[in-house]
Amino acid sequence: MSSTALVGVADRIEKFIDAAGFDRAPWAVVCFAAGIALWFWLGNRWEWMALIALALGLAAAAWGGLSAEGRYPFLRLALATGGLMLAAGCGCVWVKSSAVGTVPMAHPAMPRIIGMVLSREDQAAFGQVRLQLAMREPQTGRPIRVAVTLPDALDQPGLTEGAIVNLRARLMPPSPPLLPGTRDMAQEEWFSGIAGSGRAFGQIVVLRPAPGDNWLARARHALASHVHTEIPGSAGGIAATLVIGNRGAIAWEDQQAMRDAGLTHLLAISGLHVSAVVGGAWLLAFRLLALWPWLALRVRLPLVASAAGALAGIGYTLLTGAHLPTVRACVGALLVLGAVVLGRQPLSMRLLAMAAMVVMLLWPESVVGPSFQMSFGSVIAIIALHEAAPIHAFVALREEVWWRRVGRHLVMILLGGMVIDLALTPVALFHFHRAGVYGSVANLIAIPLVTFVSMPLIALGLVLDGVGMAIGLPQISHPAWAAAGGSLNGLLAMTHWIVARPGSVSLLPEMAGGSYVLFVGGMLWLALTRGRIRLLGLLPALIAAASLAALRPPDVVITGDGRNLGVVSEDARSLMVLHEGRSSYTRETLLEAAGISGGIAPLTQWPGAACNKDFCQIELSRGGRLWRILIARNKAFIPYAAMARACAGADIVVTQVKHYGPCHPSLLKADRTMLMRTGGLALDLVRRNVTTVEDSEGEHPWWRAPHMLPTHSADEWEITEAVMTQAAPGNSPPASIQKLAAHPAETDAR
C-alpha cells in the first residue's frame, strides 16, 4: 500500500474516532483482555516478550507523536492506550502464573496422608465427599494442596474444615486435555494451586476434629443438610445450590439436562442469584425505612438501602463459599450500588468494563474460561439491547393499563433471552462443542420462576424456620418448603421436556480459534459502538457462522494415554471405541471431541474388523482411499518380528507402549513415545491433518512434556521387565499376534 493510501486510511480512522459517539474506555479493557488471551495462545516466553515489546513500542511511538502535537491525535491516543493495555494484560497473567502457579506432583503415588482439611463439598448425588487437603508431597516434602474424594461410607464425624486427618489415597498429577479442544484440568489446577487429585481408600482417622470456632463452615453444612431434609432429590440439590452454592446433590442426568437446555447458569451462583439477593435486600430496606417519616425526611434512603444491599451481597458471597463467579457477580453488584448512590446510570458499558477490569486484575486466567465469557457476554448483550434506540423507546415508562405493562416486560424477557442465546451460542460451541437450541424458551420460564418464586419461597422457608424455633412450632415452615420443592420439580420437568424435543441440542466438532475470534470481535463491535456503523460487526460474525458449515468431525481420535481410540462411523452419527469402559467422563469427552450426539459402540462391531485379545485391525474409507489402522488392545509386549508382520501394510498404528521393533506405518505411529510428547490426537484423514494437544499448550508451565517427567515411571519399569522376559532365548511370540499377522481376517472378536 502506498504512502498516500495509508494517509487516506489514517484520515478516515481519525475522523471516525473523532465523530464516534460511543464510550472508548471499554475498548481499553478489551485490549487488556486480548493481552491475556494472547499469552495463552502464544507458545513460549520469547513470543510473550516479543508481544510485550511490540505493544510497548507501538504505544511509545504513538505517545511520542501525541506529545509532539503531531497529526491524528485521536488515532495516536487509541494506539498508545491499546498498546499499553495489551502489554499490561500479557504481563499481568504471566506474573500471576509465575507467582501462584503450583508445580504438579511428579508422578502418581499412593501415600499415607496426614493433612488439614481446607474445604469440604458433599456430593450426595454421587455418594461421595470431596475434600481439599493441605499436606506435604511424599517425594519432596514440599507443602502442596490436593483434592481427594471419598465414598460416603468412609465419612467421619468432625471431618470438616480445619480437621487434621490421616488417610491413604491414590493421587495423580493434574490431567492435561484428554483430546484436542477438551477441558484442560492441568491449566485450571495450576492457577487454583492444586498439585494432585485422587480417591481415598481404607480407613480414615480424624486425628483432630475441626475446631468449633469455624462458624461459617458449620453454618454452610447445617444449611445444606437442612435444605436436603426439607426438599429431597435433585430439587433439594438445586435449592442447596441457591442457598450455599453446593450442587453436589443434583443428579448427573439432571445437570446434563439443564446444560442442554441452556440453564446451567442457574446452577452456578453468579449474577442472577447475587442480583436477586442484593435487589431484594435493597427494596426491602428502602420500603421498610420509608415507613418511618422522621427517618425518610432526614436520611438519604437510597444510600442506606444500598448499604443494606451491599452487606447482603457480601454475606451471601461468603455463605456460598466465595467462588470466582460469585465474587465476580458481587463486585459487579457493588459497583451498581455505588452508581446508584452517586446518582449515575446503574447499568452501562463503562461500569461493566470497570467490573471486568477488577476481575481480570485479580483472576486474569478467568478470561479464557467459559464462566467469564458467558457471564460478561450475557450482560454486554443485555446492556447493548437496552441501549438501542427502538428498545429504549419500547421500555420507556408511560401511563398504561397493567396488562400492557406486564406484556411489555414479558416481551423484553423473551427478546433478552434470544439475544443472550445468540451471543452465548458461539461460546458454548467453542468450549463445550454443544449448545441448547431452545435456551431462550427455557430461560423465559426458568428465570422468572427461580427469581420470583423459588428463591423467595426458599428465603421464606428459612425465615419461618427461625420463627418456628422461636415460638415452638417448627412445622410452620413446611408449606413454604413444599411450595419451593414443587417449583423446582416443575423446573426439572420443564427442562427434561425441552431437552427431549427433536433437535434440542446442537453439536459441532472443535471450532477453529480464528472463527471464534471473528465471532467475539464482531459481537464486541456490535455492542460497544453506536449508530449504523455498529452493523459492520455482523460481517465477521456471519463469516464465522458460515465457516461452521465447513466443520467436519475428525475421523479418528486417540486419547493421550493411548488406552482408548474412537473412530467416527461412515454416517458420522456414532462413535466406535476401543474400550467402552466404565468412565462416563472418557465417553463424554470422546463424543465431545468428535462432535457427535449418537451412541458409542465397541470397535469389534466395525464392518470387517479383525480383532483378537491383543490387537484390532480395521479398514476405513476416507478421502477416496482405504486406510488400514492397527490398534493394540492392551500393554502386552510383542516381539520384534511379530510386530513387524502386524505393522506390514498399516497406515496408522496405535499402542499404549513404546515400539522397540521395526514398525513403519505410512501415516502415523502413535505409541507411548509419541503420545507422551503430543498428548491426545485428532486425525482428519480427508485433509491428512493431525491435531495434537501439544499444539495448544506450547511451553506453558502446566504442560508436562516428556523431559519434565521422571526418567523411570511405573509403566516404564513394567515394560522393561516384560522386554527382559519376552526377549529371553526360547520365548516365542504370543499366539494371538502370530495369528493376526499371518491371517488378519480370521478373528475371535469379542
Total Cβ atoms within 10 A of residue 554: 27
Domain enclosing residue 142, as ranges: 112-213
Q: What is the pLDDT of residue 212?
A: 65
Q: What is the pLDDT of residue 293?
A: 85
The enclosing H or E element of 194 equals: none
**Is there a single domain that holds both residue 34 and residue 183?**
no
Is the model more confident about 571 or about 384?
A: 384
User: What is the spatial distance between Cα 254 and Cα 241, in angstroms, rounded to a whole number?
Assistant: 13
74 pLDDT higher than 80:
no
Give pLDDT tens digits for 572-591.
Answer: 677 878 776 656 677 778 88
User: What is the spatial distance between Cα 377 and Cα 523, in angstroms, rounded to a whole number?
Assistant: 9
Is the model more confident about 64 or about 181?
A: 181
User: What is the spatial distance between Cα 560 and Cα 680, in angstroms, rounded to a whole number?
Assistant: 4
Going from the C-alpha of 694 to that of each of 179, 384, 431, 586, 699, the distances in angstroms are 10, 38, 17, 19, 9
Is the model more confident about 324 or about 539?
A: 539
**Is there a single domain that holds both residue 540 and residue 608?**
no
Q: What is the mean pLDDT of residues 60-86?
A: 79
Give pLDDT tens digits for 144-165.
Answer: 899 999 988 888 877 888 889 9
Least-confidence region, from 178-187, 322-331, 497-506, 523-532: 322-331
**Is there a single domain that holds both residue 132 and residue 64?**
no
**Is there a single domain that holds both residue 76 and residue 156?**
no
Contacts of 341 (CB under 8 A, 6+ apart): 302, 303, 306
Structural domain contains residue 634 = yes
Helices (H), 261-367: 271-290, 293-298, 301-319, 324-342, 349-362
Contacts of 150 (CB under 8 A, 6+ apart): 128, 129, 131, 167, 199, 200, 204
Q: What is the pLDDT of residue 722?
A: 34
336 pLDDT higher than 50:
yes
**Is there a single domain that holds both residue 81 and residue 204?**
no
Least-confidence region, from 27-41, 320-334, 671-685, 690-704: 320-334
Going from the C-alpha of 95 to that of each of 98, 100, 308, 361, 445, the distances in angstroms are 5, 9, 37, 11, 44
Sheet with strand 689-692: strands edge to edge? 600-602, 575-577, 565-568, 556-558, 681-684, 689-692
467 pLDDT higher than 80:
yes
Q: What is the pLDDT of residue 549?
A: 79
The maximal CA–CA distance of the chain, rounded, in angstroms, is 103
Q: What is the pLDDT of residue 92?
A: 95
Going from the C-alpha of 424 to that of each of 22, 163, 272, 699, the distances in angstroms are 23, 42, 16, 30
Q: How confident is the model at residue 712 (pLDDT cuts 50, 70, 90)?
A: very low
Q: What is the pLDDT of residue 420?
A: 80
Report the DSSP beta bridge partners of residue 180.
Answer: none
Least-confidence region, from 24-33, 65-74, 527-536, 674-683: 65-74
Which residue, 165, 195, 213, sits at the end of a domain? 213
**Is there a single domain that holds both residue 199 and residue 153?**
yes
User: What is the spatial distance between Cα 542 and Cα 295, in angstroms, rounded to a whole number?
Assistant: 56
Which of 450, 447, 442 shows the shortest CA–CA distance to 489?
450
**Is there a single domain that holds both residue 37 and residue 125?**
no
Structural domain contains residue 92 = yes
Structural domain contains residue 525 = yes
Structural domain contains residue 535 = yes
User: What is the spatial distance between Cα 241 and Cα 253, in angstroms, rounded to a whole number?
Assistant: 16
**Is there a single domain that holds both residue 580 and residue 638?**
yes
How is residue 607 annotated by DSSP?
Answer: T
Give pLDDT tens digits for 239-249.
Answer: 888 887 777 77
261 pLDDT higher than 90:
no
**Is there a single domain that holds both residue 81 and residue 148?**
no
Q: What is the pLDDT of residue 527?
A: 87
**Is there a single domain that holds both residue 538 and residue 611?**
no
Report the DSSP beta bridge partners of residue 213.
Answer: none
Q: What is the pLDDT of residue 18?
A: 67
User: What is the spatial distance between Cα 491 and Cα 483, in angstroms, rounded to a whole number?
Assistant: 12
- Give me the chain's average pLDDT, please: 80
**Is there a single domain that holds both residue 127 and residue 171?**
yes
Sheet with strand 668-670: strands edge to edge? 610-611, 615-622, 625-632, 652-654, 668-670
21 pLDDT higher than 70:
no
Q: Which of 39-53, 250-264, 504-518, 720-734 has the highest mean pLDDT?
A: 39-53
Q: What is the mean pLDDT of residues 724-740?
A: 34
Which residue, 523, 548, 573, sits at the end of a domain? 548
Q: What is the mean pLDDT of residues 124-143?
A: 85
Contacts of 298 (CB under 8 A, 6+ apart): none
Give pLDDT tens digits for 487-531.
Answer: 999 999 998 998 888 777 777 888 888 889 999 999 999 888 887
**Is there a single domain that holds both residue 656 and residue 587?**
yes
When divided into structural domains, the chain yields a total of 4
Q: What is the pLDDT of residue 272?
A: 66
Structural domain contains residue 275 = no
Structural domain contains residue 605 = yes
Give pLDDT tens digits for 270-282.
Answer: 666 787 788 888 8
720 pLDDT higher than 80:
no
Structural domain contains residue 386 = no
| Domain CATH code at residue 170 | 2.40.50
Q: What is the mean pLDDT of residues 36-44?
A: 93
Give pLDDT tens digits for 405-461.
Answer: 888 877 887 787 778 878 888 888 888 887 777 777 787 788 888 888 888 898 888
Contact 450, 242 (CB under 8 A): yes
Instruction: Name the 3-class secondary structure at 621.
Output: strand
Total Cβ atoms within 10 A of residue 387: 15
Q: What is the pLDDT of residue 95?
A: 94
Q: What is the pLDDT of residue 748?
A: 33
352 pLDDT higher than 70:
yes
Strands (E) across 397-521 are located at 434-436, 505-507
